[in-house]
């Protein structure tokens, strides 16, 4: 992070679970995106990578901006770096079904088809879903949760869990502070419209490559771990 820009400094809690092997694993996956300049993952990627949990999935996490993409005006946008690799990393660890956009996008229409296919998979699966994005750091929110236009009772529980798990780990998680996911085309709203409890989560650049290190990786992995368990418990009760 260049000096003068905001950056989060996480407390000792972050370092507690830090292990070099988790971070090395993340960097190995991240390299698959990095060496292809985030235009695609690996040399011959599938359009969509399904990252499988070891056991039955408890939640679904989507990463539609893991690669370079297009904004609402059809302009090219750079990938939300690190989001694809993070989902790949946490899926087997935390029993998450990961749905990641990994094949090169030819244009806005191709992107619409891709996103529809990702949403269709999440709807078919029907599990509580998180639409993962990346945001720049403003020194306040490490994660900003967007609850969408019409949150459901179940999706409110997911947002509450995200904040509560952040509090336990010393990770500042806010709600609708910077990105409320209000646009009708946001995946969160499409999922909510189909009865799937969903939130959007914007991860600060401090928690993603190239600004993160082993402590930050451990922190975000711990947050997903704790979130998955808390959501399962909350929705079961
Ligand atoms: Zn930050």
Could you report the per-residue pLDDT of 61-113, keeping only the tens digit for each? 999 999 999 998 999 999 999 999 999 999 999 999 999 999 999 999 999 99
Hey, which residues does 76 pair with through a beta bridge? 70
What spacing in Å lies between the alpha carbon of 6 and ligand 1's midpoint?
Answer: 7
What spacing in Å lies between the alpha carbon of 147 and ligand 1's midpoint?
Answer: 21
pLDDT of res. 9: 86
What spacing in Å lies between the alpha carbon of 9 and ligand 1's midpoint?
Answer: 8
Torsion sign, CA atoms 40, 56, 59, 191: positive
What spacing in Å lies between the alpha carbon of 140 and ligand 1's midpoint?
Answer: 7
Please state the pTM of the whole predicted model.
Answer: 0.94
pLDDT of res. 159: 98
Q: What is the mean pLDDT of each run of 10 residues along the chain (237 residues)?
A: 75 59 93 98 97 94 98 95 97 96 98 97 96 97 97 97 96 96 92 97 95 90 95 87
Closest CA to 102 of 35, 31, 39, 53: 39
Quote the radius of gyration of the chain (alpha carbons, Å): 16
Torsion sign, CA atoms 53, 56, 61, 62: positive
What domains lie within the chain, and their CATH numbers? 12-236 (3.40.630.40)
């Amino acid at each position: 992070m260049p000096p003068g820009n905001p950056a989060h400094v996480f407390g000792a809690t972050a370092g507690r679970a830090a292990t070099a092997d988790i971070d090395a694993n993340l960097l190995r996956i991240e390299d698959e995106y990095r060496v292809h300049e985030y235009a695609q993952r690996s040399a011959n990627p599938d359009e969509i990578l399904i990252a499988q949990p070891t056991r039955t999935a408890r939640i679904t996490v989507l990463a539609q901006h893991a690669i370079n993409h297009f904004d609402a005006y059809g302009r090219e946008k750079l990938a939300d770096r690190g989001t694809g690799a993070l989902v790949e990393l946490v899926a087997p660890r935390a029993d998450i079904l990961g749905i990641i956009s990994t094949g090169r996008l030819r244009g806005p229409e191709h992107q619409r088809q891709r996103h529809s296919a990702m949403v269709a998979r999440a709807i078919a699966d029907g599990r509580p879903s998180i639409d993962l994005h990346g945001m720049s750091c403003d020194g306040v929110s490490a994660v900003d949760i967007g609850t969408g236009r019409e949150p459901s009772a179940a999706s409110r529980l997911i947002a509450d869990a995200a904040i509560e798990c952040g509090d336990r780990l010393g990770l500042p998680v806010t709600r609708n502070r910077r990105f409320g996911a209000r646009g009708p085309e946001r995946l969160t709203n499409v999922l909510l419209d189909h009865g799937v409890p969903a939130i959007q989560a914007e991860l600060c650049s401090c928690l993603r490559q190239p600004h993160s290190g082993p402590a930050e990786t451990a922190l975000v992995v711990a947050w997903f771990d704790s979130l998955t368990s808390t959501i399962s418990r909350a929705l079961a009760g």
